[in-house]
Amino acid sequence: MRRRQRSEAGQAFPIYIVMVAGLLFLAFAFFAVGKASATRNGAQGAADAAALAAAQQARDEMGPLFLGALLLPGGLNDFFGNHYISGEPCNQAQRFAAENRADVVGGCMWNSGFQRDEVTVRVKSRNTVGDTVIPGTETTHATAEATAVIEFRCNWNPAEKPDADTSPQPDETEDDKEETPGPISFDCDDRNHFEIDPLHPDPWAELGKMLFAVHLTDD
């Protein structure tokens, strides 16, 4: 009887070893998946920050052109139809990606439409997943991309001018009257109403935030 018990114990021991080894492998595999997920989440955070930084920088640069458009009849329509975006927003995206231990790859991809611009940024993490039981993770970097939107959220009309003396003034011609731009009235998000005097505008840092929303897309 004792020999039989010892024989059964001897046969069970290798099975026990295999089971323990399998459980250890699964534990290390789950650990590898966790490290990969953490690296991926870090890359996504870097992509989000980079895309938002590019969009905000582009909004900051719109100020002179936007305010200049207010001085011209139909200038805003021309501005939204064809406005220039420099390379600095993408440089800003790289700076924010670097702060999150990532690099922008492939530059910034712009998609411009009427009253709406989109910038897509793809990043690659500087850190790898690291050594794990899964081969190749020590050289695997995470990649992610994000798209941010610069969206004009207002309607505009020439502001109503108060009644004034219409009699000719000394040294003033009819052409001078017509060329003098007046304030523009903006209604933003159906709740924020204000006026911009193109000859005496408020600082663009304040106006830009009221006129243009910057946010990540939900895609």
Q: What does the pLDDT look like over 2-57, one tens digit per residue?
A: 555 555 555 565 665 656 555 555 554 555 555 667 778 888 999 999 999 999 99
Q: Is residue 180 pLDDT above 80, yes or no?
A: no
Mean pLDDT of 58-77: 91
Helices (H), the chain: 2-61, 63-69, 75-81, 88-99, 174-179, 204-211
pLDDT band at 160 (very low <50, low <70, confident <90, very high): low
pLDDT of residue 81: 80
Q: Is residue 87 pLDDT above 90, yes or no?
A: no
| 109: number of Cβ within 10 Å | 13
With contact defined as beta carbons under 8 Å apart, do 119 and 216 qualify?
Answer: no
Mean pLDDT of 183-208: 90
With contact defined as beta carbons under 8 Å apart, do 205 and 194 qualify?
Answer: no
pLDDT of residue 110: 94
Name which residue leads in pLDDT, 158 or 65.
Answer: 65
Mean pLDDT of 68-96: 88
DSSP annotation string for 46-106: HHHHHHHHHHHHHHHHTHHHHHHHTTSTTHHHHHHHS----SHHHHHHHHHHHHTTEEEEE
pLDDT of residue 209: 93
Mean pLDDT of 93-119: 93
Report d(CA 22, CA 24) in Å as an integer. 5
pLDDT band at 133 (very low <50, low <70, confident <90, very high): very low
Over pLDDT 90: what percentage of the chain? Answer: 45
pLDDT band at 176 (very low <50, low <70, confident <90, very high): very low
Report d(CA 183, CA 193) in Å as an integer. 13
Q: Is residue 171 pLDDT above 60, yes or no?
A: no
pLDDT of residue 123: 95
pLDDT of residue 41: 83
